[in-house]
A and B are shown apart, each in its own frame.
Chain A
C-alpha cells in the first residue's frame, strides 16, 4: 500500500501539490488523471523520492521513503518518467540489465540474466536487443525503458505517462502488459494517464486531481461519470457504455 499524508510542494508562491493525503490500494492498477498542471507528475515524483517534499510523509509498503536507504527502496519501488533524456550510448540489452543493478550492483548472476531475457521478451524487444537506443524510434525507446523497470522486479511500479510516443497498437499492448503484471505477478501499478478511456478500460482504481488536490477517487464506475469528469476537466464529457466498458466522448 502507498500512503501519502499531507504531501505538499510549492514553487515560490504557487502551490503545485497542496496537502494530498491518499491511500493507494495494494495490487491492481491505479490511474491518476486530471488536467494539465494538476500536480499528477509532481505527486508521482515525490512518492518515488525523485523530488523532495516541502511537507508531509509518504510510506510505500510500510517504509517511510525519506528515511529508508535508497537502494533498499530501489528493490521495492521503480519509477519511469516521461522524459528520459540521457547522453549515454547504450544497447537495449545494456539498458534493460541496469534494472538488475539494485539487486546485484553490476555483477550479473544467472538469475539476473534470466530476468533480463524475460523482460526483453515481455516487451517484444528480442529483435532490437542489440541495437543502440539512439537508433530506435521514440516508441521503441519507451518500451526499452519499461523493460528496464520491469526487470527491476519491484512490488510497486510507478509510470508517468507510459503511453507517450506509443501508437494505438503499442499503447494497447503496454496497458495489457501492465494488466498482466498486476494480475499474474501481483504488482501494484500506479500510472499517470492522459487518455481517460485507457484509464477507464484498464484501471481498478482512479484518482482524479485538480489544482494540486485530489478532486475525486474511487473505482471506475464512480469516477467515469459525466458530472464527475465534467467538473474535473471543466468541459462537457458524455459517457457511453459500450460492451460493458465506460467510454467517454469529448471531441466536440
Chain B
C-alpha cells in the first residue's frame, strides 16, 4: 500500500494530464511534419499545397470524430457507445441515398455541393434530435438497452440505404457511390472550405460549455441538482455531435470504431475526466492515428487503403474488450 502511494505521489506533483498532453502534442507535430515532407519530389509549392489539403481533411476528420465521440459519451454517461455505433453516420448515408433515390441523380448534380452539404448537416441535426431525444432524455435507461437499440438502428439505416442503392440505375449508383465512399487516402477536396467553417463555428459554440460538460459527466441527477438545464443542454450537444459526424462522414465516409478507440485511449491516458484534458488528448490521439498512420502506410509500407481497416480492427477489439469487462462486473 505505502509503496503504491509513494509511486503515485511524484506523478501527481508533475500533473499527469499536462505531461500526457505535451507528449501527444509532440507526437502529433512530428507526424504532421513527416506527412508533409517525407518522400517529396519535385516542386515544393505543389507538394505542400497538395499534401496540405489532404492534411487539413485528415485533421478535420480526426477532430470531428474525437470531439463528437467524447461529448456523446459524456452526455449518455457511458464509455461504450459512440455516435457511429448508435448509427449517426449510417443516418447520414441514408439521407444522401434517399435524396438520390427520390429526387433523382439530377438533384445531386444540380445543387452546388457546398450548399448541398449544408442542407445535409441541417437535416442530420433535425433527424438525430427526433430519433434520439426519446432515448436520452427523460428517465435513465439501461446501457444494454441503448446498445441494442443503437445496433438495431445502425443496421436498419444501413439496410435501408443498401436497398435503395440496389434499386437505383447503375449510372446514378456510381455517382452516389463516388460521393459516399471516400477513404483516408482520397478525401473530397470540394468540401474542405465549408467543412472547416462548420467545424470552427460548432467548436466556438461548444467551447463556451466546457464546464457544463464536466457537470454532465456526473450523471443526469447530479447535473440537474447543480442547475444544468438538462433537456436543452443535452439536445444542444447532440446537435453539435450530429454536425461533427456529418463533417467527418462527408469527408471520408463512415468509420465505426475509430472514435471509440481514441476516446477510450484518451480517458485512460489522461486518468482524469475533466474535459479540458480529455478533449484535446482525444483530438491529438486521433491526429496521430490518422496522419501518422497514413504517413507510415503510404511512405514506409507503400500501402494505400489499409489504414481504415487497421483502425477499425483495433477499435473493434477495444469495443469487444469494453463490453466483456462491463458484463464481467
Cα–Cα, bound, A130→B218 (Å): 18
Q: Is the CB of A106 within 8 A of B211?
A: yes
Contact between A86 and B267, CB atoms less than 8 A apart: no
B203 interface residue (CB < 8 Å to A): no
Residue numbers in A under 8 Å from B219 (CB-CB): 84-86
In the complex, chain B residues whose CB is within 8 Å of the CB of A149: 225
Given contacts A88-B218, A130-B12, contact A79 B273 (CB under 8 A): no
Chain B interface size, as a band, is 20 to 34
Contact for B272 among A78, A89, A102, CB less than 8 A: A89
Instruction: Mark A31-61 against chain B: 1 for CB-CB distance below 8 A, else 0.
Output: 0000000000000000011110000000000
When the two chains form their complex, are residues B227 and A98 in contact, meaning their CB atoms are under 8 A apart? no
Q: Does A94 contact B (CB under 8 A)?
A: yes
CA of A89 to CA of B266 in the docked complex: distance in angstroms? Answer: 12
**Are the C-beta atoms of B228 and A70 separated by less than 8 Å?**
yes
Q: Is A190 interfacial (CB-CB < 8 Å)?
A: no
The answer to whether B221 and A102 touch across the interface, beta carbons within 8 angstroms, is no
Asked if B321 CB lies within 8 Å of chain A CBs, one says no
Measured between beta carbons, the chain B residues less than 8 angstroms from A78 are: 225
Asked whether, in the complex, the Cβ of B218 is within 8 Å of the Cβ of A74, the reply is no
Interface of A is mostly: loop
CA distance A119 to B225 in the complex (A): 17
A203-B221 Cα distance, complex, nearest whole Å: 26
Check if A79 sits within 8 Å of B225, measured CB to CB.
Answer: yes
Asked if B299 CB lies within 8 Å of chain A CBs, one says no
Indicate whether B271 reaches chain A with its CB closer than 8 angstroms: yes
0/1 string, B195-226, CB within 8 A of A gives 1: 00000000000000011101101111110111
Question: Is B54 an interface residue, CB under 8 A from the partner?
Answer: no
Give Cα A79 to B220, complex, Å.
12
Chain A positions 66-108 with a Cβ under 8 Å from a chain B Cβ? 69-75, 78-81, 84-91, 94-95, 98-99, 101-102, 105-107
Asked if A200 is at the interface (CB within 8 A of a chain B CB), the reply is: no
A152 interfacial contact with B, CB 8 Å? yes
**A159 CB to closest chain B CB, in angstroms?**
11
B-contact 0/1 string along A106-121, CB 8 Å cutoff: 1100000000000000
Q: Does B179 contact A (CB under 8 A)?
A: no
The answer to whether the Cβ of B78 comes within 8 Å of any Cβ in the partner chain is: yes
- Chain B neighbourhood of A73, CB < 8 A: 227
- Which of A81, A84, A87 has its CB near the most chain B CB atoms (within 10 A)? A87
Q: A106-B210, A130-B12 are in contact. Are A88 and B225 (CB under 8 A)?
A: no
Contact with A along B213-245 (1 / 0, CB 8 A): 011011111101111111000000000000000
Interchain nearest-CB distance for A102 vs B (Å):
4
CA distance A102 to B271 in the complex (A): 26
Q: Contacts A81-B221, A86-B217, A90-B273 given: A75-B227 contact, CB under 8 Å?
A: yes
Given A73-B227, A106-B211, do A87 and B221 touch, yes or no (CB 8 Å)?
no
Which A residue sits closest to B211, measured CB to CB? A106
Distance of A51 Cα from B214 Cα, bound (Å)? 22
Residues on B with C-beta less than 8 A from A71 are 227-229
Give every chain A residue within 8 A of B78 (Cβ-Cβ). 87
Q: Which of these, B73, B77, B227, B273, contacts A89 with CB under 8 Å?
A: B273
In the bound complex, how far is the Cα of B95 from the Cα of A102, in angstroms?
40
Asked whether any CB of chain A lies closer than 8 Å to the CB of B96, the reply is: no
A interface with B by C-beta (< 8 Å): 48-51, 69-75, 78-81, 84-91, 94-95, 98-99, 101-102, 105-107, 130, 132, 149, 152
B residues bordering A, Cβ < 8 Å? Answer: 12, 73, 77-79, 139, 210-212, 214-215, 217-222, 224-230, 267, 271-274
